[in-house]
């Protein structure tokens, strides 16, 4: 079982992201990026990129579960999906050009904004 040991931190990070996504319908990346860096040894850019690749199927699964349970209105979500796809395309193209220090700051601000909205709003 020693060959599985390097996979344990990654599996645990993915599990944490999945739990957060399942509970809140998203937000697993906010848990995943720090874990990919601290527990899995990825640099910040790779952690962000891997987080997106990991979160996509988690979000798809969560969306299916919400849909099956009658909590997802696809037509209501469609404009957000279109905007999100456009934003993802732009963000993916700009990502490589943004200095890591600004990525760190933007990510920290996003986490603080999410915390503020969760506490106040």
Domain containing 51: what range? 2-120
The pLDDT assigned to 1 comes to 45
Q: For all residues of the chain together, what is the average pLDDT?
A: 86
Tokens, residue 14: 């993915």
User: In this structure, are residues 82 and 56 in contact, taking their beta carbons and an 8 Å threshold?
Assistant: no
Q: Of 24-33, 55-64, 110-119, give the lowest mean pLDDT range.
A: 24-33
pTM listed for this prediction? 0.70
Q: What is the pLDDT of residues 32-67, one digit of tens each?
A: 888 889 988 899 889 988 998 988 888 888 889 989
Average pLDDT over residues 7-36: 84
Please count the structural domains in the chain: 1
Contacts of 106 (CB under 8 A, 6+ apart): 98
Report whether pLDDT(79) > 90. yes
């Amino acid at each position: 079982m020693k060959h599985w040991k390097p996979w344990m931190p990654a599996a645990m990070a993915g599990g944490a992201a999945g739990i957060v996504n399942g509970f809140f319908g998203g937000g697993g990346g906010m848990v995943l990026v720090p874990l990919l860096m601290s527990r899995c040894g990825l640099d910040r850019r790779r952690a962000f990129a891997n987080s997106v690749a990991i979160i996509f199927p988690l979000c798809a699964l969560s969306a299916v579960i919400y849909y099956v349970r009658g909590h997802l209105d696809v037509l209501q979500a469609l404009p957000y999906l279109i905007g999100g796809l456009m934003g993802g395309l732009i963000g993916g193209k700009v990502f490589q050009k943004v200095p890591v220090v600004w990525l760190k700051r933007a990510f920290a601000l996003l986490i603080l904004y999410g915390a503020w909205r969760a506490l106040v709003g």
